[in-house]
Amino acid sequence: MKQERFEALHHDEWNAFENWLGHRLKIIKNYDGKPPVATIEDHNMPHCYRNICQQLALARDRGYSLILIERLHNMVLQGHDILYSADSGISKRIFHYIAGGFAADLRENKRWVMLSALLILAPWIIMLIVVRIWPDFIYIVMTPEEVHQLDDMYNSTYVLGGKLGVFRESDSNWMMFGFYIYNNISIAFRAFAGGLLAGIGSVFTLVYNGIYMGAAEARIVNIGAGRNFYSFVVGHSAFEIGGIIISGATGLKLGWSLIVPGRLSRPDSLRKAGRSVLGLICGSGIMLLIAAMIEAFWSPHNFPLAVKLSAGAFFFIILVSYFIFTGRRHAA
């Protein structure tokens, strides 16, 4: 369908919806200074809003003009604010986003998420293989002091299910909880803020952490402490690595908006990209907070390895299912 026919077909519906927005938001004024009279009843707006969301998706897929896409996009944004946010408290808005909006935003930005995952996981796997085959290669990535600290952290004569070996006493869990939050957020912030350097900082952060974590994992396995290591990290890895990947994706998108701003100026392109990833940034922060809680209060417990692995698999399945299946109606 040509754009002219598409616009003619939906012209009246769009005008009515914009009129309703002006009535509700009180931003469109008549000459007498009063807000326009709404031509659509409030109870019909959810259906109209869903139609416009679908029309926006069609306009993007068919490559219609940027002016039309921006008009529909603004209607969707303002309609969402009214239908889901304007009359509800902050707690309800947060719940609504977690219940579906976060997953929908991630799927919308899946290309950036996949690229971010590739940038951290590929060097991770490569370094894991390299250090497993050539153990001394670890010293190219870490100093001897760092390697010694890593060995002391996980190398223990105690097997899992026996006495407390590498695991902490419970009275230090709160202190470590704060440390894990700081560590996780600092990595995620560098992955996100690195996008302001045309994405170079984000790429470096992801690749560097992938190299470091792959080398560390291989070293621990090489010294025979693999059971201790996997028992400790398996519970929180899905949330922690997932949060870092999402933060990296937001940074990559910001960087790309500076490299290819399109018809917008670079500052406007950056602002537009920043607004589009704001929810992902908050969502990744929540994931990293959950990871820190698990790492501080669950991971140190010396449960049998099978229990730890089962818990880790459960968290992974829950997280993947959430991102795949929730928020479908929100995205529509």
pLDDT, residue 29, reads: 41
pLDDT tens, position by position, 178-229? 888 999 999 999 999 999 999 999 999 999 999 999 999 999 999 998 888 9
How far is it, in rounded angstroms, from Cα 89 to Cα 32?
Answer: 33
pLDDT tens, position by position, 99-131? 888 998 999 999 999 999 999 999 999 999 999
- Total-model pTM: 0.72
pLDDT, residue 106, reads: 94
Q: Distances from the Cα of 318 to the Cαs of 28, 237, 267, 324, in angstroms?
A: 45, 13, 38, 10
pLDDT, residue 195, reads: 95
Closest of 1, 92, 15 to residue 48, by C-alpha: 15
241-256 exposure pattern, b = at least 16 Cβ within 10 A, e = fewer: bbbbbbbbbbbbbbbb
pLDDT, residue 303, reads: 85
How far is it, in rounded angstroms, from Cα 103 to Cα 247?
Answer: 14
pLDDT, residue 39, reads: 56
Contacts (Cβ under 8 Å, ≥6 apart) of 126: 214
CB 202 within 8 A of CB 248: yes
CB 211 within 8 A of CB 124: yes
Burial class from Cβ neighbours inside 10 Å (0-12, 13-18, 19+) for residue 153 reads: middle
> Both tokens of residue 286?
């929540």
Backbone phi and psi for residue 167, each to the nearest 5 degrees, phi listed first: -90, 150
Q: How far is CA 134 from the centre of its chain?
A: 35
pLDDT, residue 32, reads: 44
How far is it, in rounded angstroms, from Cα 277 to Cα 146?
Answer: 35
Q: Which residue has the tokens 């889901």?
A: 84
pLDDT, residue 296, reads: 87
pLDDT, residue 28, reads: 41
CB 191 within 8 A of CB 208: no
Query: What parts of the chain have a pLDDT lower than 70?
Result: 25-43, 84-93, 156-171, 329-332
How far is it, in rounded angstroms, from Cα 320 to Cα 253?
Answer: 22
pLDDT, residue 157, reads: 43
> Both tokens of residue 261?
């701003």
How far is it, in rounded angstroms, from Cα 255 to Cα 277?
Answer: 12
pLDDT, residue 33, reads: 47
